[in-house]
Structure 1
Amino acid sequence: MCTRVLWNTNDVIVLTGRTMDWPESTQPVIVGFPRGRDRDGSNPAGLVSDPNPLRWTSQYASLVTTIYGLGTVDGLNEAGLAGHGLYLESTDFGPRDPAKPGVQAGLWLQYLLDQADTVAEALRLMDEIQVLKISAHGRDANLHLALEDAGGDSAIIEFGGAEPVIHHGAQYTLMTNDPTYDEQLKLLSLQDFSHPSRDMPLPGNVNPVDRFQRAAYYSALLPAPGSQREAIAGVMAIMRNVSVPFGAPYANFGVYNTEYRTVTDLTNRMYFFELSTSPNVVWIEMDRLKLDDGPVVVDPYDYSLVGDVTDRFTPRELPF
Structure 2
Amino acid sequence: MCTRILWTGKDKSGKFHSICGRNMDWGIDMGEKLWVFPAGLKRKSDVKGKPVEWVSKYGSIATIVYDQATSDGMNEKGLGVHANWLAKSFYGERDESKPGLDCNRALQYFLDNFATVKEVVEYFKNNQDMQLVETKITKGKFEVPIECHLAIEDAQGESLIVEYLNKNDDDDTKPRVLEVKIYYSGDLPELYLKYCNNLDIPSEKKEEYKANYLKAYNVLTNNPTFKKQLENLKNYKYFISDDHLNLPGDTDASSRFVRGAYYLINLPEPTNQREAIAQVLSVMRSTAQPFRKPKPDSNALYASSTRWRTVAACTEKLYMYESSVNPTLIWLDANKLDFKEGSGVRVFDLTKHETVIGEVSEKLTPAEDLFGKNLSE
TM-score range, shorter chain: over 0.9
Match of 1:185 among 230, 234, 256: 230
Amino acid at match of 1:289: L
Matches for 1:257-272 after TM superposition, within 5 Å: 257-272=305-320
Secondary structure at the counterpart of residue 108 of structure 2: helix
User: In structure 2, do the counterparts of structure 1 residues 169 and 256 end up closer, same or farther at CA, with 3 Å as the change threshold?
Assistant: same
Partner residue of 2:137? 136
Match of 2:268 among 223, 240, 258: 223
Residue 7, structure 1, aligned to residue 7, structure 2? yes
Residue 304, structure 1, aligned to residue 355, structure 2? yes
Match of 2:35 among 24, 31, 34: 31
Q: Distance in 2 between matches of 1:20 and 1:131?
A: 22
Structure 1 residues 154-174: Cα deviation after superposition (integer angstroms, max 9, x where no partner): 110000143311111164200
- TM-score by length of structure 1 reads 0.92
Residue 234, structure 1, aligned to residue 282, structure 2? no
Partner residue of 1:45? none
Partner residue of 2:69? 71
CA contact (8 A) 2:38 2:345 kept: yes
Q: Distance in 1 between matches of 2:179 and 2:360?
A: 40
User: In structure 2, do the counterparts of structure 1 residues 270 and 116 end up closer, same or farther at CA, with 3 Å as the change threshold?
Assistant: same
Amino acid at match of 1:249: K
Secondary structure at the counterpart of residue 9 of structure 1: strand
Give the CA deviation at 1:189. Answer: 1.9
Give the CA deviation at 1:196. Answer: 11
Partner residue of 1:275? 323
Query: CA-atom RMSD, angstroms?
Result: 2.0
Partner residue of 1:256? 304
Q: Which runs of 5+ in 2 are unaligned?
A: 167-177, 187-213, 372-377
CA contact (8 A) 1:193 1:220 kept: no
Secondary structure at the counterpart of residue 350 of structure 2: coil
Q: Distance in 2 between matches of 1:114 and 1:18?
A: 20
Q: Distance in 2 between matches of 1:26 and 1:298?
A: 15
Larger radius of gyration: 2
Moved more, 221-230 or 96-105: 96-105
Q: Distance in 1 between matches of 2:131 and 2:3?
A: 25
Partner residue of 1:105? 103
Aligned length: 312
Give the CA deviation at 1:90. Answer: 0.7
Q: Which runs of 5+ in 1 are unaligned?
A: 43-47
Q: Distance in 1 between matches of 2:35 and 2:45?
A: 18
Partner residue of 1:169? 185
Give the CA deviation at 1:193. Answer: 3.2
User: In structure 2, do the counterparts of structure 1 residues 200 and 226 end up closer, same or farther at CA, with 3 Å as the change threshold?
Assistant: farther
> Identity across aligned pairs (percent)?
36
Secondary structure at the counterpart of residue 98 of structure 2: coil
Q: Distance in 2 between matches of 1:158 and 1:305?
A: 36
User: In structure 2, do the counterparts of structure 1 residues 263 and 250 end up closer, same or farther at CA, with 3 Å as the change threshold?
Assistant: farther
Q: Distance in 1 between matches of 2:347 and 2:24?
A: 19
Give the CA deviation at 1:71. Answer: 2.2
Q: Distance in 2 between matches of 1:298 and 1:179?
A: 34
- TM-score by length of structure 2 reads 0.79
CA contact (8 A) 2:236 2:245 kept: no
Partner residue of 2:87? 89
Give the CA deviation at 1:251. Answer: 6.4
Give the CA deviation at 1:142. Answer: 0.2
Partner residue of 1:159? 164
Q: Distance in 1 between matches of 2:21 and 2:241?
A: 20
Q: Distance in 2 between matches of 1:163 and 1:195?
A: 29
Moved more, 178-187 or 7-16: 7-16
Amino acid at match of 2:348: V
Partner residue of 1:150? 155
Q: Distance in 1 between matches of 2:148 and 2:327?
A: 29
Q: Distance in 2 between matches of 1:58 and 1:220?
A: 36
Q: Distance in 2 between matches of 1:308 and 1:194?
A: 39
Amino acid at match of 1:133: E
Give the CA deviation at 1:100. Answer: 2.4
Amino acid at match of 1:317: E
Structure 1 residues 59-80: Cα deviation after superposition (integer angstroms, max 9, x where no partner): 0001110121112110111112
Q: Distance in 1 between matches of 2:241 and 2:332?
A: 34
Q: Distance in 2 between matches of 1:144 and 1:175?
A: 9
Structure 1 residues 130-186: Cα deviation after superposition (integer angstroms, max 9, x where no partner): 110011121110011001111111110000143311111164200100000110001
Give the CA deviation at 1:9. Answer: 3.1
Moved more, 301-310 or 275-284: 301-310
Give the CA deviation at 1:194. Answer: 5.5
